[in-house]
């Protein structure tokens, strides 16, 4: 079910549980600011989720309330993951759903990183 992208933060959400090590994930990368792991239901040959370590509900929350260090660290992590996956030359797509109309399902900010094939139209229909 789609969630409100403006909080409050639910510490029992599935990505919070992955961050705490309570649930497993197929980890791609981790540093002080970010964790990247494969999406459980991939929609492209490469479909990785990159999440900040802090408790942010959505991009709306993160962009307003993240510190400079958190925002810089997270952004650099997203770029590094794409680079490490050798997606820079062929290209890739970043997407972040915010709130109900975007269909956000997990209320912890995440960026979807898609690649590994020509991705086609930006939105269906
Ligand atoms: P959203 O719709 O919130 O932008 O995307 C949530 C994404 O999280 C979906 O692509 C979904 O497949 C993925 N997802 C949901 N639960 C889990 C999980 O437990 N593990 C992993 N790796 N991905 C998950």
Residue 39 Cα to ligand 1 middle (Å): 6
Q: What is the pLDDT of residue 6?
A: 86
Tell me which residue of 91, 1, 88, 13 sits closest to 55, measured CA to CA: 13
pLDDT tens digit sequence for 30-46: 999 999 999 999 999 99
Task: Tell me the C-alpha distance between 112 and 50, whole Å.
Answer: 7
Residue 93 Cα to ligand 1 middle (Å): 17
Q: What is the mean pLDDT of residues 5-30?
A: 96
Q: What is the pLDDT of residue 3?
A: 84
Burial code (b: 16+ CB inside 10 Å, e: under 16) for 90-124 equals: eebeeebbbbeeeebebbbbbbbbbbeeeeeeeee
| pTM of the full structure | 0.98
* Residue recorded with tokens 């929609």: 43
pLDDT of 125 higher than 80 = no
Residue 36 pairs in a beta bridge with 29, 50
**How long a stretch of residues is the chain?**
125
């Amino acid at each position: 079910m789609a969630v409100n992208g403006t909080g409050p933060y639910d510490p029992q959400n599935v990505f919070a549980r992955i961050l705490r090590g309570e649930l497993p994930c197929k980890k791609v990368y981790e540093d002080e600011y970010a964790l990247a792991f494969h999406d459980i239901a991939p929609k492209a040959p490469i479909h990785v989720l990159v999440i900040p370590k802090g408790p942010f509900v959505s991009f709306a929350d993160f962009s307003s309330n993240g510190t400079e260090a958190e925002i810089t660290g997270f952004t650099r992590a997203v770029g590094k993951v794409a680079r490490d996956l050798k997606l820079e030359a062929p290209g890739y797509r970043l997407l972040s759903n915010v709130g109900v109309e975007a269909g956000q399902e997990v209320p912890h900010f995440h960026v979807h990183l898609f690649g590994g094939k020509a991705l086609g139209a930006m939105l269906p229909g």
